[in-house]
Structure 1
Amino acid sequence: MRPVGPAAALAVLAVLAVLAVLAAASLLLLLAPAQDLPVRTKYGLVFDAGSTHTALYVYRWPADKENGTGIVSQVESCTVNGSGISSYADNPAGAGASLKPCLDKAMTIIPVEQQRQTPTYLGATAGMRLLREQNSTKAEQVFAEVTKAIREYPVDFRGAQILTGNEEGAFGWITVNYLLETLIKYSFTGKWTYPPVEDVVGALDLGGASTQITFLPGTTTDDKNTRALLRLYGTNYSVYTHSYLCYGQKQALKRLMASLHQDSPYPQQISHPCYPRGYQENITTAELYDSPCVPAPGTPSPAQVLTVTGTGNPAACRTAILKLFNFTCGANRTCGFDGVYQPPVRGQFFAFSAFYYNLHFLNLTEEQSLSSVNDTLWKFCSRNWMTLQKDFPTRNRIHLRDSCAASSYVLTLLLQGYKFDSKTWLNIHFQKQVSNVDVGWTLGYMLNLTNMIPSETPQRVVVLTKSKWVAATVVLAIILILIFCVIAALCYGKDSSGYESL
């Protein structure tokens, strides 16, 4: 066989080098389509149909990172005009129509090609629980109309339902811990780690008709009525949770007014210690006793007019609010109030919804001491109506009137009701949002129904980014070229010295 000459050897090496470069380029081209395309985004819609109002939340997350944590963001929140859907009991079609402006807004946010794949839910809370107790037929008619309205839109509507109080509490707890990444933490290396269980926080929610407390107790409880068993990311959680119906802010203040009316020595006059001095209004008994939370004494004339006069007396205000609670407990039993079992509060808590809004108005959400909060509230509750209106000209009249009563109620509920004290008070963090997402039950509800929080630990995913692929391929190509160059140089050197292979 004739030996290969130096020129031919060099030609072969050159061809091999070119082929190596082409192979590297081909590898890059093969990787590029999957990596260069923008990550497809998914959306979800949840209606929070509360007792006083309805809100629509638009969520978004990268489709390739489902079952990761901390990756759902809130794109939009839209408040529906008017009261909650339960207020449309006598006009159910109005409940459906009220949702449409917010749905129209959501359709401008979600790309047209993704709308039909967007999971959409409506969850109703204490307002509809009360309506169902009053008149189940009217509750069903309201649900039929909101369902009909949502189905007119090109979304994947998965139903409307009334949440139980414990579900509302548990989903709020899931939301806040998901956003804080205290259940599981995801790193960019694809590794999941479990934070210490002490990092898990409790959740305090205050709506218009109910209030919820949810936390991990120090010991397990056998009380099935106040226990929720959750399995999230491979970990079992036995959380304490309870919802107190009729102890939401709106219903509590209505009960307070009724209690003051029934204790008044003058049947047609109500002296209200939580209203500012100088405030006066007229209400009817029909307005006062229009809720199942406020049973009417005897059969009062619905058209009877009652004159309400504010006295601005903080001490009498707190005394009147305390009468709304029953603090007696059974033997050998710890409880919150109304005889409901509750273990001692433990760990850090996030307080949101009306807990946050009431104290935020008084600039009391910056973790002030309890004595400072008491002092500020005492001074505010002692003020008169005229100066309050001058100092807060843009504040809604009803909200300004109720600020003392609502904030005093919040303090009583947290301290005497849920048994926080001057020390554990500092463990309560009053927040509206975490990671730019409104805190509430809606996100936890959607995560649960879309199975985005798996019961087992997600498999470890090793992600090699495009930049690493590029670097590895370039280095490989350079190494191959260098090897071929070295071989070529050796062959050239041998040829020039007169050596020829056999």
Structure 2
Amino acid sequence: MLRAVAWSSAAVLGVLVVALFLLLLTLAKDAALPARNKYGLVFDAGSTHSSLYIYCWPGGKENGTGVVSQLEVCRVEGPGISSYADNPAGAGASLKPCLDKAMEIVPAEQQQETPTYLGATAGMRLLREQNSTKAEQVLAEVAKAIGQYPVDFRGARILTGNEEGSFGWVTVNYLLETLLKFSFTGTWIHPPAEDVVGALDLGGASAQITFLPGTTISDSSTRALLRLYGTNYSIYTHSYLCYGQKQALKMLMASLHQGNSSSPHISHPCYPRGYQENITVAELYDSPCVQAPSTPSPAESLSVTGAGEPAACSAAIKELFNFSCGANESCGFNGVYQPPLQGEFFAFSGLYHSLHVLNLTGGQPLSLVNATVRQLCNSSWQKVQKQFPSMSSSQLRDACAASSYTLALLLHGYRFDSKTWPHIHFVQQAGNTDVGWTLGYMLNLTNMIPSEAPQTVVGLQRSNWIAATVLLAVMLILILCLLTAMCCHRGSSGYERL
């Protein structure tokens, strides 16, 4: 009877051991296989061009700060989609080569679950002001083109200026891990509020400034309330439409023309000496940002020559701004409320590119930046062509105007000075990811930034392995004890028979 019980117990324990062993194998297999990456696509439909950003992140990991990475960025050939107002189908067709490229990168079995967005910025905001019907037709055509691909398309829309600024701020701070970070002890920690940085963005048609002020924001139209990782942020943000680089330089040219509208000749103080070009009045006044003369002659040709005068260039650019604060005790420009600057700032897009061509994005002091820009603006056309042989003619022509405008916007528009200038960091990327509004936009719309910090980490932990190992050892000991008892019983029975 004892022998039967022993063998029965051993059999049960054996089955349990085998089951536990198979379970451990399954868990080990699951732990060894990496979780399948997830993907997201975002079109940045800017005023001068469009780009497709391809992001990925670990699918089996609780979302934390900095887990999203940029796989690829595809620049769309041709101008921005707002330029296709009279050919909406062309706007959709222009996106297809980049979508084809994305389909080569995203695994075929995951494409239908890949969230895809298109966000249009100031160029489309201007087109909507000019002709809302044409703006809607362009959006419809780009949506139609994207909808032909096997992705989870979630719409194409025009962002507000404050959204653009806020999403850019989220992107920068997400990548810098100033909102939340995972400590080496395995816990989530909230960095202090003073660690968050401001965001300065300059596009072709608008400019955005966003930061966390040290005071209450008195103008609600410039306040954005965000709850990120369980923390509330009341940030200041404002977008200046028409003060993007392309539109600002167009306003500058129009101002120079209207200063002597009776003459078909424009002497441009920001263009290099010796540079010449012809433009038409229609080209000059083709934007709602530029007020046309009362009696324009669209076909009239204007002769533009470069004068290369740094002081006159700076003065002409300052005329584009109204630096009077009016009723506001604190403002940026054009009477728009702006609280005092606070903290560090990351400047990207046009602000970065306009100074990077002059190697001025490495933290150089303001005095050196000013001197380098003055030297450029005092150069001849032949000299800049030799100095920057890889730059296109239009980039060379605008280099002085663009860098001078950047300085005017930052120093006089946003009120930075020699003391706060070192707090501006000019960057194109952070964490190998382009800085801009697209990542923040995707994070927001995919709910990848939770309102509260994750409390647990999913997966097989070290403690689970220890417990399983101890259990296995105990079961093996029990089996050995039973087998020993059986052998002893067998030996005892034999002795008695003798």
Partners in 1 of 2:365 and 2:52 — Cα distance?
A: 35
Matched, 1:435 2:422: no
Match of 1:277 in 2: 273
Aligned-residue offset at 1:313 = 1.2
TM normalised by structure 1 equals 0.91
Match of 1:261 in 2: 257
CA contact (8 A) 2:275 2:381 kept: yes
CA contact (8 A) 1:9 1:488 kept: no
Of 368, 388, 391, the residue aligned with 1:392 is 388
Partners in 1 of 2:72 and 2:100 — Cα distance?
A: 12
CA contact (8 A) 2:269 2:312 kept: yes
Which one-letter code corresponds to 2:293 in the other structure? P
Match of 1:319 in 2: 315
Most deviating of 427-436 and 326-335: 326-335
Match of 1:461 in 2: 456
Most deviating of 443-452 and 46-55: 443-452
Aligned-residue offset at 1:26 = 2.8
Aligned-residue offset at 1:166 = 0.5
The Cα offsets for residues 21-80 of structure 1, whole Å up to 9 and x where unpaired, read as 535413303423532443022111111110000011111112223542211111111111
Match of 2:53 in 1: 57
Aligned-residue offset at 1:116 = 1.1
Query: Could you say if the C-alpha distance between residues 332 and 37 of structure 1 is closer, same or farther in structure 2, counting changes exceeding 3 Å?
Result: closer
Partners in 2 of 1:332 and 1:110 — Cα distance?
A: 50
Match of 1:287 in 2: 283
Matched, 1:373 2:369: yes
Match of 1:130 in 2: 126
Which one-letter code corresponds to 1:278 in the other structure? G
Which one-letter code corresponds to 1:85 in the other structure? I
Query: Could you say if the C-alpha distance between residues 495 and 159 of structure 1 is closer, same or farther in structure 2, counting changes exceeding 3 Å?
Result: closer
CA contact (8 A) 1:20 1:481 kept: no
Which one-letter code corresponds to 1:460 in the other structure? Q
Which one-letter code corresponds to 2:453 in the other structure? P
What runs of 5+ residues in structure 2 fail to find an aligned partner? none
CA contact (8 A) 1:228 1:241 kept: yes
CA contact (8 A) 1:264 1:271 kept: no
Which one-letter code corresponds to 1:445 in the other structure? Y
The Cα offsets for residues 430-487 of structure 1, whole Å up to 9 and x where unpaired, read as 1111111111111111111111112x31341145546664455335434654677689
Query: Could you say if the C-alpha distance between residues 137 and 428 of structure 1 is closer, same or farther in structure 2, counting changes exceeding 3 Å?
Result: same
Partners in 1 of 2:439 and 2:307 — Cα distance?
A: 42
Match of 1:221 in 2: 217
Of 149, 154, 157, the residue aligned with 1:153 is 149
Aligned-residue offset at 1:11 = 8.1
Which one-letter code corresponds to 1:72 in the other structure? V
The Cα offsets for residues 273-326 of structure 1, whole Å up to 9 and x where unpaired, read as 111111111111111111110111221211111111111111111111100000
Partners in 2 of 1:120 and 1:63 — Cα distance?
A: 17
Matched, 1:329 2:321: no
Between the two proteins, the alignment pairs up a number of residues equal to 495
Matched, 1:300 2:296: yes
Superposition CA RMSD, Å: 2.7
The Cα offsets for residues 239-296 of structure 1, whole Å up to 9 and x where unpaired, read as 1000000000000001111111122386111111111111111111111111110111
CA contact (8 A) 2:84 2:90 kept: yes
Any residues of structure 2 matched to 1:331-370 within 5 Å, and which? 331=327, 333-370=329-366
Query: Could you say if the C-alpha distance between residues 20 and 188 of structure 1 is closer, same or farther in structure 2, counting changes exceeding 3 Å?
Result: farther
Which one-letter code corresponds to 2:381 in the other structure? W
Of 410, 416, 429, the residue aligned with 1:420 is 416
- Name the SS of the counterpart of 1:379 in structure 2: helix
- Name the SS of the counterpart of 2:21 in structure 1: helix
TM normalised by structure 2 equals 0.92
- Name the SS of the counterpart of 1:60 in structure 2: strand
Most deviating of 49-58 and 384-393: 384-393
Most deviating of 109-118 and 46-55: 109-118
CA contact (8 A) 2:428 2:434 kept: yes
- Name the SS of the counterpart of 1:473 in structure 2: helix
Partners in 2 of 1:60 and 1:12 — Cα distance?
A: 54
Which one-letter code corresponds to 2:126 in the other structure? L
Of 199, 202, 212, the residue aligned with 1:203 is 199
Match of 2:136 in 1: 140
Aligned-residue offset at 1:232 = 1.4
- Name the SS of the counterpart of 2:421 in structure 1: helix
CA contact (8 A) 1:226 1:240 kept: yes
Which one-letter code corresponds to 1:441 in the other structure? W
Matched, 1:117 2:126: no
Matched, 1:91 2:52: no
- Name the SS of the counterpart of 1:444 in structure 2: helix
Partners in 2 of 1:487 and 1:217 — Cα distance?
A: 73
- Name the SS of the counterpart of 2:416 in structure 1: coil
Partners in 2 of 1:364 and 1:490 — Cα distance?
A: 84
What runs of 5+ residues in structure 1 fail to find an aligned partner? none
Aligned-residue offset at 1:203 = 0.4
CA contact (8 A) 2:43 2:119 kept: yes
Aligned-residue offset at 1:402 = 0.5
